[in-house]
Amino acid sequence: MSGDRYTPQSGDASIGVDHYDLTLDYKIATNRLSGTAVIRVRAAAAISAVSLDLVGLRASKVLVDGRRAPAFHQSDRKLRVTLPAPLDEGEGVEITVVYGGAPRPRRSRWGTIGWEELEDGALVASQPTGSPTWFPCNDVPSDKATYVLTISTDSAYTVVASGVRVEKGGRGSTATWKFEQSIPTPTYLMTVVLGRFVEETVPLDDRSGRMFYPRPLADRVHADFADLGAMMALFQERFGPYPLDEYAIVVTADDLEIPLEAQGIGVFGASHIDGVGGLERLIAHELAHQWFGNSVGVAAWGDIWLNEGFACYAEWIWSEHSGAETAHERATHHHARLDALPQDLLLRDPGPDLMFDDRVYKRGALALHALRLTAGDDAFFALLRAWCAQHASGTATTDEFVALAEELSPVPVSDLLHEWLDELPLPALPRAGRAGRAVARAVRTATSAVSPRR
């Protein structure tokens, strides 16, 4: 029984996972991964077997509550474990899987995703179904769990992973790193990055931050991330408190096609760091995902606009605050671009082939700007803060967002959002109503307090 209709071969709706304890040993030179996963599973329905996602790696031993499983069978995508006795809904079991092999990305309709070797290291880019390339899991966005990750590798390399680093030790040529992720996290947002990095601590408003980067890129990294603290302060003001204890930035020596968001981490390639802030919007986008997509996760991939439209709009909020283009100027520009493109994308349910289409990002941001123009700044940002607070560390749906917007807006907005979410033609941007005229005043106030960008 699939866990998400956009990824019908992934996940099992009859189970949920409360916790993963992963112990990994990775040989960078030979790309060999050995792992033991201890997984606390609870039954969401009556079950006699547990089906986990595992791709490209082979299970050699499976235990159920510390004893050998009666049987287990592995296909190219699934590891099916027979239980010693059936479980009723709500009952739990601990499954231990010993596995290993040469991890590699899996092919998907969205390209190759998962564990990937770099020129000198490795990283994981799992969205949406790449996590089974490095550990057995229930790979659906709705199933959030906590994690402990212990990884041993060559001591010449730094390991960055989702969670708080709680231990680092080593003997000889091997170092062991341990991370604890106590915030419920979906599998696709767990990551590992290994590389030869400089580690640097940076202040981020009232939070701690770390940056990891190759030494030759130091000047470019320092220049491009100079405003990260101010960005954090702005987003905490607009969205509510940052939902984690710390935020890490990783810059790889390799060029990457796109930046990657993970729980508490933004991963950028050398291709994204030019030393003059040319791709600053990407820095804002990945940071915003810590609220939208990571803390407030989607209950199903069909609601992906709740991740990407919100993160895209955060780019425009930062642009406006920093004295570049206002959010309205950005919106007007992108509305004209979208208006010239095919009108065949339903924002609420774009379908798996179009879920990462740029129109999801931009139309989602435009829907939020239309809401802001209609409701006004005070109500709009109160809505974003309430959204993040009510669904922190959980999942949410489009219907829940529409209901909250209608509740908190001083004017009706359901029909407005219906046009943007549920109809194919691109709506016109509304004129600022009486409530929305505060937008223009806020823009003037914000931009007059900031020097023009050089």
Mean pLDDT value across residues 142-155: 98
Question: Could you tell me whether strands 265-268 and 246-251 are parallel, antiparallel, or unpaired per DSSP bridges?
Answer: parallel
Does 285 show up as a binding residue in the annotation? yes
DSSP symbols for 62-109: EEETTEE-SEEEE-SSEEEEEEEEEE-TT-EEEEEEEEEE---PEEET
Regarding whether 257 and 336 lie in a shared domain, the answer is no
Where does the pLDDT of residue 443 fall: very low under 50, low under 70, confident under 90, or very high at 90 and above? Answer: very low
Regarding whether 166 and 311 lie in a shared domain, the answer is no
Structural contact between residues 305 and 348, judged by C-beta atoms closer than 8 angstroms: yes
Cβ atoms < 10 Å from Cβ of 247? 22
pLDDT, tens digit (0-9, with 9 covering 90-100), for 65-122: 999 999 999 999 999 999 999 999 999 999 999 999 999 999 999 999 999 999 999 9
* End residue of a domain, out of 193, 226, 245: 193
Q: Tell me, what's the pLDDT at 278?
A: 87
Tokens encoding 76: 């190219």
Regarding whether 175 and 70 lie in a shared domain, the answer is yes
Instruction: Provide the angle, in degrees to the nearest 10, between the axes of the packed helices 358-375 and 398-408.
Output: 20
Q: How far apart are the first and last CA of the chain?
A: 55
Q: Is the pLDDT of residue 452 over 80?
A: no
Does 321 show up as a binding residue in the annotation? no
Q: Tell me, what's the pLDDT at 450?
A: 38
- 454 is a domain residue: no
- 291 is a domain residue: no
Q: Tell me, what's the pLDDT at 431?
A: 87
Q: Is the pLDDT of residue 171 over 90?
A: no
What is the DSSP secondary structure assignment for residue 428, as one 8-state letter?
A: P
Cα–Cα dist 335/257, whole Å: 25
Mean pLDDT value across residues 293-302: 98
**H or E element: which one contains 385?**
helix 377-390
Strands of 172-299 (E only): list them. 174-185, 192-195, 198-204, 207-213, 246-251, 260-262, 265-268, 296-298
User: Which of 2-11, 27-36, 109-118, 146-155 shows the lowest mean pLDDT across its residues?
Assistant: 2-11
Between 434 and 75, the higher pLDDT residue = 75
Cα–Cα dist 110/11, whole Å: 18
Give CA separation, 181 vs 106, 166, 307, in Å. Answer: 25, 10, 21
Q: What is the dihedral of CA 65, 10, 192, 146, to 10 degrees?
A: -50
Q: What share of the chain in percent tops pLDDT 90?
A: 93
Q: Tell me, what's the pLDDT at 433?
A: 58
CB-count exposure of residue 86 (10 Å: 0-12, 13-18, 19+): exposed
Regarding whether 210 and 178 lie in a shared domain, the answer is no
Active centre residues (catalytic): 286, 361
Mean pLDDT value across residues 396-424: 98
Does 334 show up as a binding residue in the annotation? no
Q: Tell me, what's the pLDDT at 304?
A: 98
Regarding whether 241 and 186 lie in a shared domain, the answer is no
User: Which of 18-27, 246-255, 339-348, 429-438 shows the lowest mean pLDDT across its residues?
Assistant: 429-438
Segments forming the whole domain that contains residue 239 = 197-286
Cα–Cα dist 178/259, whole Å: 24
Structural contact between residues 375 and 409, judged by C-beta atoms closer than 8 angstroms: yes
pLDDT, tens digit (0-9, with 9 covering 90-100), for 303-356: 999 999 999 999 999 999 999 999 999 999 999 999 999 999 999 999 999 999
- 453 is a domain residue: no
Where does the pLDDT of residue 453 fall: very low under 50, low under 70, confident under 90, or very high at 90 and above? Answer: very low
* Closest by CA position to 82, among listed 63, 54, 55, 98: 63
Look up the CATH number of the domain holding residue 389. 1.10.390.10
Which amino acid belongs to residue 35? G
Where does the pLDDT of residue 2 fall: very low under 50, low under 70, confident under 90, or very high at 90 and above? Answer: low
* End residue of a domain, out of 135, 168, 193: 193
* End residue of a domain, out of 259, 286, 313: 286
pLDDT, tens digit (0-9, with 9 covering 90-100), for 119-137: 999 999 999 999 999 999 9
Tokens encoding 15: 């189970």
Tokens encoding 441: 């005043």
Q: How many CA atoms lie within 13 A of 139 on its CB side?
A: 27
Regarding whether 228 and 175 lie in a shared domain, the answer is no
Regarding whether 313 and 242 lie in a shared domain, the answer is no
- Total domains present in the chain: 3
* Closest by CA position to 287, among listed 332, 235, 331, 339: 235
User: What average pLDDT does the structure give for the chain?
Assistant: 94
Q: Is the pLDDT of residue 442 over 60?
A: no
Regarding whether 303 and 269 lie in a shared domain, the answer is no
* Closest by CA position to 377, among listed 410, 414, 338, 418: 410
Nearest-5° angle of CA 417, CA 420, CA 425? Answer: 145
Cβ atoms < 10 Å from Cβ of 252? 28
Give the full edge-to-edge strand order of the sheet including 265-268: 198-204, 207-213, 246-251, 265-268, 260-262
- Per residue, the 3-state secondary structure of 278-328, as one string, reads CCHHHHHHHHHCCCECCCEEECCHHHCHHHHHHHHHHHHHHHHHCCCCCHH
Read off the pTM: 0.94
